[in-house]
Amino acid sequence: MTRYVLFNDDVQAALFTVQHSGITDFTPQKPALLPMQIRSASAEGFSAWLRARAIDLGNRQHRTVMHELLGSRDKITLALRTHMFSLSDTFTCFIEGEFTPRLQLCQPQEQNMVSEFILYPGDTAVRRLDVATPNASTDGSSPKTWRFEEGSWWLYKLQPSASTEAEVEISRVLREAGWEAAEYAYVGRFRKRVKTRSFLRAHEFFEPYDSFRFFFNNPDDDDEVIYQNIVSLGKDFEIAWKRILLADALFANTDRHMRNFGFIRSSLTGEVLRLAPNFDNNQAYLANPGGRYSEGMLRMYMNQADDADRKNLQELCEALSAHPYLQQAQEAGRAFLNA
Question: What pLDDT shows up at residue 124?
Answer: 58
Mean pLDDT along residues 47-60: 77
Output the CA torsion sign for 32, 44, 204, 256.
negative
Alpha carbons 103 and 109: distance in angstroms, whole number: 13
Which one is predicted more confidently, 141 or 188? 188
Instruction: State yes or no: pLDDT of 1 exceeds 80.
Output: yes
In this prediction the pTM is 0.92
- Residue 76 scores a pLDDT above 90: no
Cα torsion through 196, 199, 203, 207, rounded to 10: -90
- Over residues 63-81, mean pLDDT: 74
Rounded Cα gap, residues 222 and 52, in angstroms: 21
Query: What is the overall mean pLDDT for the chain?
Result: 90
Tell me the residue type at 2: T
Give the per-residue pLDDT at 69: 63
Task: Give start and end residues of each alpha helix (H) in 181-263.
Answer: 209-212, 223-231, 235-250
Model pLDDT, residue 137:
45
Q: Quote the pLDDT of residue 56.
A: 67
Q: Do 209 and 259 contact (CB within 8 A), yes or no?
A: yes
The Cβ-side half-sphere exposure at 210, using a 13 Å CA radius, reads 12
Instruction: Tell me what pLDDT residue 136 has.
Output: 45
What per-residue confidence (pLDDT) applies to 134? 52
How does residue 91 score in pLDDT terms, banded at 50, 70 and 90? very high
pLDDT of residue 228: 98
Spell out the domain ranges in the chain.
2-156, 202-338
For 158-209, what is each residue's pLDDT tens digit? 999 999 999 999 999 999 999 999 999 999 888 999 999 999 999 999 999 9
Kindly tell me if the per-residue pLDDT of 94 is higher than 50: yes
Q: What is the DSSP string of 292-307?
A: S--SHHHHHHHTT--H
Structure-model confidence comparison of residues 118 and 238, the more confident one: 238
Q: What is the pLDDT of residue 74?
A: 78
pLDDT at residue 132 greater than cutoff 90: no
The whole-angstrom separation of Cα 177 and Cα 173 is 6
Q: What angle do CA 314, 319, 320 make, to 5 degrees?
A: 95
